[in-house]
Each structure stands twice: as C-alpha cells, then as structure tokens.
Structure 1
Amino acid sequence: MNGWIVAPAFSLAVFAVPAAAQDHGGHEAPVQQVEPAPRPAPHDHGQMQQAPEPASADDDHAAMMASMTGALGPYAMGREASGTAWQPDVTEHGGLHEHRGPWMFMGHVMLNGVYDWQDGPRGDEKAFISGMVMGSARRDIGADGTLNLRAMVSPEPFMGANGYPLLFAAGETANGSDTLIDRQHPHDLIMELSASYAHRLGDQTSVFVYGGLPGEPAFGPPAFMHRLSAMDSPEAPITHHWFDSTHITFGVLTAGVVHGDWKLEASQFRGREPDEDRYDIETGELDSTALRLSWNPTENLALQTSWADVTSPEALEPDEDEERWSVSGIYTRPIGEHGWWSATMAFSNKERSDGVSLDAWLAEAAWHPNDRWTLFARGETIETDELEPPGHGPIRDVARLSAGAIRDWRINETVVFGVGALVQTHLAPDELEPSYGGDPEGAMGFVRLKIG
C-alpha cells in the first residue's frame, strides 16, 4: 500500500466526473453572481446597491448577496469564509439576513444527527450530534469603515469528552492525561466570538483588524466545516491537526491589507489547543505567530500559502513547539442551472522542536448537480507518530478514503432536511495492520437540518 499515491489519486478521479459533466451541460452562470460594486454612500447601510426587483424570494436573496461587498474589503461577499480566510468569489453565501436600522444581521444553523461505525479491533460505534449555530451583526462606521461581529456555537460538547470514533485520528485529550487516539475530539461549545473592523483606502484597497476569543488565526485554508467541498460530510479529516486545528483558538489578533484579489495578513495568537473542558473560555499569552498570503486570480479559484510558529500546542507535550506551513487551492464552478462543483487540494508540513517533520496531503470534492442531491469524496494521507501510545512512536504513513451522498428535501423557504451516508476505507502500513485488523472499513449514516 502506498497511501501517498492512492488517496490523492482517488479524489482526483472523483473531481473529473463533474468537470466532464459540465461540458455537456453548457451552462456558465456562476453559483452566485459576483460583480463587485462600488461602495455606496453611508446612508446605504450594509454596503448594498439597489437591485432590480427579482422574480422570487430566492432571486431577491441572490441579488442582495451579489451586490454586497465583504466585511474586510471591497470584494464579493461570497469570498469570505471562516475567520479571515478566503474561498472562491462564486461560492454561495447562505444564511438568513435582516436589516434593522444601520445593522445587518445574519443567522445560519446546520446540525447533523450521526450514527458512526468504525470496524476492527480499534474501532467503535456511537450516535452523536454535530454542527454549528452561527450569527453575525454588521454595520458601516462612517463613510469608509465596516464593523462585523460574529458568534458561533456547537452542540458537540454534549457528545462527551472522548468525542466519536474515527480511525487514524489523534489529538487533544478527554481527561487531561491521555491523547485521544482513533477518536475525533468534540469542538468547544463556543467556537467563535470575534469582531473585525475594516477601513477602505480606495476602490480596491482596505486595511483591517480582527480579534477573537475564541477566533481563527491566519493559517491554512478555511476550516473543514466551512469549505464547500467538505461541509456536506459529517466526517472530520484526519489532516485536521495539520491544516485547521487552530480554527478554535482562545486568543487571536490579526491585522491585514487587501488590495484587489490579494490579501496579506499576520496573526498573533495563543498556541495551546483547547483543553478537555469544552464549555469554558480559556485565556493565555498570545505567544504564537502566523502569516498568510491569499490570492483569488479568478472568481472560481482561491489560493493561499501560510506559515505559523506555534508555541506549545499540545497540553501533554508542553515543551514541544511546532513550525507549520501550508499551501492550498479551492476551485468552485457552476454546473447546470442550480448546481455547482467544488474541489480543494492542500499540503501541509509541521516540524516539531524535537526535529520530527510530518507531512499531510488532502484532496476532496463535492458535486451538487441540483437542489436535491450532493455527492462528496475525500482522500487524505498523513505521516503520524501518535498511533502507538504512550507518547510519540515510530512515524507511520496512513491514508483514508471516503465517499458519500446526501438527499435534501426543502421544508420551506429557509429550512432544509437531508438524509445521507458515507463509507470509508483505511489504508494501514504493514506495521499497524495487526492492531487494526488489516485495512478496516467505516461508515456513517446521518440526518441534517439546515436553516438559512
């Protein structure tokens, strides 16, 4: 088995299916119309232009979203993802929106009820609820400023401190003394409490500051639950602790500059990952640094490269620091009248202060041919030394492939109910096959509720 070849090749094969399908469809309209508009006068709060009266409520929402600029700069609102990360401009921007005076409020709910089964001697099964509830409030400040407040909470702490079974996953702790292995830790109840202020310097340029307790520093692609290529799957990637384990960081301060399709930003943040108490707000010194350069060369493509010097990320290894860097690309485009296709490819390396260097590769895609079905797939490989406790063991190459689908039913204009499933296969090296029972399988069945 060579997971470093098999996993990316698997996802690349999946990517080719919708790409071929779009050539037969002949539709080139974007997922979301994104013609960045000049900033309106201060009395047009919410940075909106007057649009022609659309034919339906859905058209009304799409027109409003298309005419709005981002909270951090003069670009399409669809470009904004988790924290201060960027995604392709054509990405559909969901949520319920309402204006009250100078404020624009947005809300979104996505909850999954999941039954998870992981095979083999190290597997387990469990039913749990995951997802998030998000809200934001935004207003103009003077003629050139934008204030944005954002909050996000998760039901995941209620699944229990030891999270849910997920073979090859490792990181964080349930009891303060042992690393979770072959399990995905629950995310904290409070996933984000943040504020940002952006000041426009010209038609294409702005500067901004962002702070969160918790928040997300300027490292990596958007967190997996916010990527269009990943958000329909309830499965956390095993590459999570390479790309986006910092998406819940208890103490972040970021400053950046946007010029056209480029963004350069720097963060000072607390390097320690969240502890086993998932209900509290933690504090500590902002002892770590991150830099990220983002570029959206077209409305369909978002590229980033980033670097971070992380101080003492693991509570059980307090003397170990990490230097991380990542590079990623997200490509999104329309298929047919209401469909889209999105793919993410990414690489990350983390080098610990003890000299150990570990790589991770990720390739994932989602295909949404209509408003009823979404198909998704992921292939990923990691170098890890955490699967043979106690402490760090030999470095092993492991890989996981997964694929699934969800069928949605629209209850009304704002509520969608879905039923889905996914299957997994895990590729273990010869040294680990006895403890895992070969190359174990896994599966998840789930129901989903989306509001907004």
Structure 2
Amino acid sequence: MTTQTFHARLLACAALAASLGLAAPVLAQQHDHPGMTMPMPDEDNVPLEALINPTGHVMQSALGAYAMTRDASGTSWQPDASPHDGIMLHTDSGWMLMGHAVFNGVYDSQGGPRGGDKAFLAGMVMGMAQREVGDGMLGFKAMVSPDPFMGKSGYPLLLATGETADGKTPLVDRQHPHDLFMELSASYSHPLGGGFDGYLYAGLPGEPAFGPPAFMHRQAAMDSPEAPITHHWFDSTHITFGVVTAGVSRQNWKVEASAFRGREPDQNRYDIETGQLDSVATRVSWNPTPNWALQASWARINSPEALEADDDEARTSLSALYSRPFRHGGSLSATLAWARKDRIPGDALQAWLFEGAVRPDQHWTVFTRAEQVEQDELAGHHGGVATVRKLSVGAIYDVPLSDNIKLGFGGLASAYDAPAALGYDDPTGGMAFVRLKIG
C-alpha cells in the first residue's frame, strides 16, 4: 500500500465519521447536583441518563461529585455520555457493587514473511465496590485477565513492539499478553468546599495519570480484539506495579499527579511486582460538554525497559474522546490522539491514532482504527527510525442471551504501510472472533 493510498483511506474514515454525526450539535446541560452534570438532548428533551441507563439512575463516581459514566480506566475520564456496562448491586450495609466481564476467543492471521497465525483467548474480569465513609467516598477496583494463558510470546501483530517474552529479547511484530492482575486499587475522595473535590488513588497494580483511557476501556476501541500498534506511546502504563495519584476536580475540570514505578511488567505474567516509585506523571482533563473528554498529560519514566535499564523516557499525550448515545441502545464513539516518546538518550518518536465505532442498535457495531507511528525497533532494537501505518476495519454482531449476557460474532481486516526495506512485502491481516460479554 502506498502512503497516498493510506492517507486516502484515512480521509475517507474521517469523512464517514463526520457524516455520522461527529460535528452534530452537542447536548445541552442542566445541573441537578453540585459537580454532577445531567445533560439532555436538544431534539426531544429526553434525559441523557435514560438513553445510557434505562433505569434512569446514574451513580456518583468514587473519585468526585460527578456521574460514574465519566470514569474510565484508572483515574482517566471519558465523555459523560458514554454507555456504562456492568451488573450493579446495592447491599444493606451501604456498599454499591458492580461487575463486568469480556472474553474474546480469537483466530489471528497476519500475512507476509514477518506474519503468523494463532488462536488465543483474551479479555478481562472487572469488579468494583464503593460506599460513603463520612462525607467522602471509599472505592476499590480489581481487574484480572486470561491473557497469560495465551503464552509468554503473546499473539502475532505486525508493526507492534514492546516488552519481552523471555527476559532476553524484545517482542517485535507481536503483542505481549497482559498480566493476570491488571488492577488492584483503592481510592478515597472528599469534598474540599467551593465546589472542589479531592481524591487519593493507589494501586498495585494501578494506572498513573497519563494519556487517554487504556485501549480496552475506550468506547471507540473496546469492540476490537486487537491492541493498537500505538499502545506503547499512549497507554502502556495502564498496568503499573506501584502508583499513587492525587487529584482535584471541580465540575468538568480535573488536575492530577502521580508517582509510580517506571519499569514495565516483566515476562512473569502471574506475579505482583514491587519497586520504588521513581517516575512521575501529571494530567489535566476537561469535559467541556457531555459528549467530549479532552486531556493533556506528561510523564517522565525511569528505566521502563528491562533490556535497556539505563535508558529513560519522557512522554507527552493529547487526546479527544467523543461519545453520543442513540435510542434503542445505539451509540457513536470516536478517539483522536497524539503522543510523543522522547528516549533519553535517543530519538523523539511520534504517534497518531484515530478510532471510531458506530452502534446503530443493540446488535451491530462497526469499528475502525487508523494509526501512524515512528518506530525504531522494527529493524532490530534501535535499528533506525521508520514511519509505519496501519488501517483496520471490523464489525461484530451481538446476540442477547439474557438481560446481562451477550454472545458476539465478529471479524476485522487490516492493511499496513511500511518501508520496503523492512521486508513486510505489503501484507494484509485479519482476525475472526467470538465474544462473551457479561454486564
């Protein structure tokens, strides 16, 4: 695929997203609770929370006086209008419990001389508990994954790099499996007066205040079973073995900072790792309307790669997430993001990402992802910087088995653009998958 062809397809994706309503008027707002926005569609005055949650009941976040629908991975924000899955239970002792699970059985085929084939299981099981303690809110989150059972070397994914399978060689053209324990965290938030709320969050593992929500939690990305090739620019810190974050929010603004362990998880995917909190991150988040979530963040990461223990990184990230619910369980979601990775010492490498997903009803979802990355690991570690691109398009059809369980059947196809010297031979790739979704 030529660069011109890839850009033409990317522009076509953007035009399709615009025609589907990305530029439509945003939702009006009304305030029913300090710090909590209850938006309403302009067209027919139907409460937005009734579109997101048929019960019409929106729970408050554990991290501040705003709707739980704004919460994404770690302490990151998504649009207030985002759908929110999960089975919820209220106990007599005042606890609110929520659970959610996703399992993908995938057959993956990556073409060309650097590709491969593999069948594997991926997904996550999430649990959350929160209750009022005094004037504040105490919260706990846990998330585990079946990824380690696919094997240490993960699955074939052309143009992907990062981490190691054996502690000796880096993974190239493969996506590493996530750890069994993806998050074990606790938080406490408390009103500070004047409309401000403060919180403390700690995880082992947890997620520091950097970047947009992790890809498996972004509404525009969660229906795709493949990881982005931009993963190690935007959200590779989403599993960090040691993090403490403090933040202050007021209505639609939030400022937060983290101290965390910079080293990425090692090849032992079943353990709990420990170490010094030797890295820092800070993030500013702004949800200007219920449909949008914007963030800017920066991180200085100490020795992230075990194979290059003397090298550090500075990362910068900007992103915009959009979400709009439809009647009958449908929605439109999109992500546009940019990130820069400064190797210390070494090159400055940039990455761009666009994701979109359209769900016209409760059954069909069509999704796409376009990425451009400056890579220096595809021709051997630090073997020269190459600009590579990838475009994926897919769909899934969900069959409800009960009110809280869906079985989905999906597939996706991918096209790649890389310099001929890298030896990819203009390949294509694809995945076929079956998904079980609970919650």
Equivalent residue for 1:360?
351
Structure 2 residue 140 is matched with structure 1 residue 141: no
| Structure 1 counterpart of 2:113, one-letter code | P
Structure 1 gaps, min length 5: 41-46, 50-57
Residue of structure 1 equivalent to 2:101: 109
2:408 to 410, 415, 418: 418
Q: What SS does the aligned partner of 1:367 have? A: strand
| Map of 1:244 onto structure 2 | 235
Distance in 1 between residues matched to 2:10 and 2:285, nearest whole Å: 24
Deviation at 1:424, TM superposition (A): 0.4
Separation of aligned partners in 2, 1:401 and 1:316 = 30
After superposition, the C-alpha distances for 1:73-126 in whole angstroms (9 at most, x for unaligned) are 111211110000000000011100001121000000111000000001111000
Contact 1:36 1:76 in 2 (8 A): no
- 1:38 shift after superposition: 2.6
The CA deviation at 1:156 is 0.3
8 Å Cα contact 2:52/2:82 also seen in 1: no
> Match for residue 433 of structure 2?
446
TM-fit CA distance, 1:256? 0.5
Alignment of 1:429 with 2:419, yes or no, is: yes
Deviates more, 1:11-20 or 1:337-346: 11-20
The alpha carbon displacement at 1:355 in A equals 3.0
Q: Which amino acid is the alignment partner of residue 120 of structure 1?
A: G
Q: Is the 8 A contact 2:161 2:175 kept in 1?
A: yes
The CA distance in 1 between the partners of 2:306 and 2:216, in whole Å, is 24
Confirm or deny that 1:82 pairs with 2:93: no
Is 1:35–1:67's contact at 8 Å kept on the other side of the alignment?
no
TM (norm. structure 2) is 0.92
CA contact (8 A) 1:255 1:265 kept: yes
* Maintained 8 Å contact 1:11/1:377: no
Aligned partners of 1:123 and 1:165 also within 8 Å: yes
Match of 2:164 in 1: 173
SS in 2 for 1:67: coil
Q: Deviations over 1:390-439 (max 9, x none)?
A: x311100111100000000000101000000000011111322xx21x21
1:52 alignment counterpart: none
Residues 114-133 of structure 1: pairs in structure 2 closer than 5 A: 114-133=106-125
Q: Which moved more, 1:12-21 or 1:357-366?
A: 12-21
Task: Give me the identity figure in percent.
Answer: 56
How many equivalent pairs are there? 426
1:259 is displaced (CA, Å) by 1.0
Q: 1:332 to 1:11 in 2, by over 3 A?
A: farther
The corresponding residue for 2:33 is: 38
* CA distance in 1: counterparts of 2:99 and 2:325, whole angstroms: 25
* 8 Å CA contact retained: 2:34, 2:251: no
**Partner residue of 1:227 out of 215, 218, 228:** 218
Residue 13 of structure 1 deviates from its aligned partner by: 2.8
Q: 1:6 to 1:319 in 2, by over 3 A?
A: farther
SS in 2 for 1:89: coil
Q: Distance in 1 between matches of 2:326 and 2:303?
A: 45
| Correspondence for 2:252 | 261
- Give the whole-Å Cα distance in 1 for the aligned partners of 2:266 and 2:180: 12
Residue of structure 2 equivalent to 1:405: 395
SS at structure 2 position matched to 1:13: helix
Does the CA contact (< 8 Å) of 1:266 and 1:291 recur in 2? yes
- Work out the CA distance in 1 between the residues paired with 2:51 and 2:73: 25
C-alpha separation in 2, matches of 1:65 and 1:172: 44
1:332 aligns with 2:327: no
Q: Are the counterparts in 1 of residues 26 and 289 from structure 2 also a CA contact under 8 Å? A: no
The answer on whether the counterparts of 2:328 and 2:362 sit within 8 Å (CA) in structure 1 is no
CA distance in 1, matches of 2:156, 2:393: 17
Cα deviation digits, residues 128-152 of structure 1 (max 9, x gap): 000100001100011x200110000
Q: CA contact under 8 A between 1:7 and 1:381: conserved in structure 2?
A: no
Residue 184 of structure 1 deviates from its aligned partner by 0.2
Looking at structure 1, the residues matched to 160 and 219 of structure 2 have their Cα atoms a distance apart, in angstroms, of 22
Whole-angstrom CA distance in 2 between matches of 1:2 and 1:348: 24
Cα distance between partner residues in 1 of 2:29 and 2:116: 45
- Structure 2 residue aligned with 1:301, among 292, 297, 316? 292
Structure-2 separation of matches of 1:121 and 1:35: 57
Q: Distance in 2 between matches of 1:122 and 1:328?
A: 31
Find the residue that maps to 2:132 and give its secondary structure: strand
**Structure 1 residues 34 and 160: CA distance shift in structure 2, 3 A:** farther
1:39 Cα deviation from its structure 2 partner? 7.0
1:394–1:387 Cα change, 3 Å: same
Which deviations, in whole Å up to 9, do the C-alpha atoms of 1:175-217 show, x marking residues without a partner? Answer: 0000000000000000000001000124732000100000000
C-alpha displacement of 1:335 = 3.9
Distance 1:338 1:402 in 2: 24
Higher RCO by CA contacts (8 Å cutoff, separation 6 or greater): 1
* Counterpart secondary structure, 2:115: coil
| Cα gap change, 1:135 to 1:319, in 2 (>3 Å) | same
Residue 405 of structure 1 aligns with an amino acid whose one-letter code is A
**1:314 equivalenced with 2:305 (yes/no):** yes
Determine helix, strand or coil for the equivalent of 1:298: coil
Q: Tell me by how many angstroms 1:372 deviates.
A: 0.5
Of 89-98 and 333-342, the range deviating more from structure 2: 333-342
Partner residue in 2 for 1:185: 176
CA distance in 2, matches of 1:61, 1:334: 7
Cα–Cα, structure 1 residues 319 and 89, in superposed 2: closer, same or farther, change >3 Å? Answer: same
Alignment partner for residue 339 of structure 2, among 343, 348, 351? 348
Q: Aligned pair in 2 of structure 1 residues 188, 6: CA closer, same or farther (>3 Å)?
A: farther
Whether contact under 8 Å (1:111, 1:129) holds in the other structure is: yes
Pick closer, same or farther for the CA change 1:267–1:384 going to 2, 3 Å. same
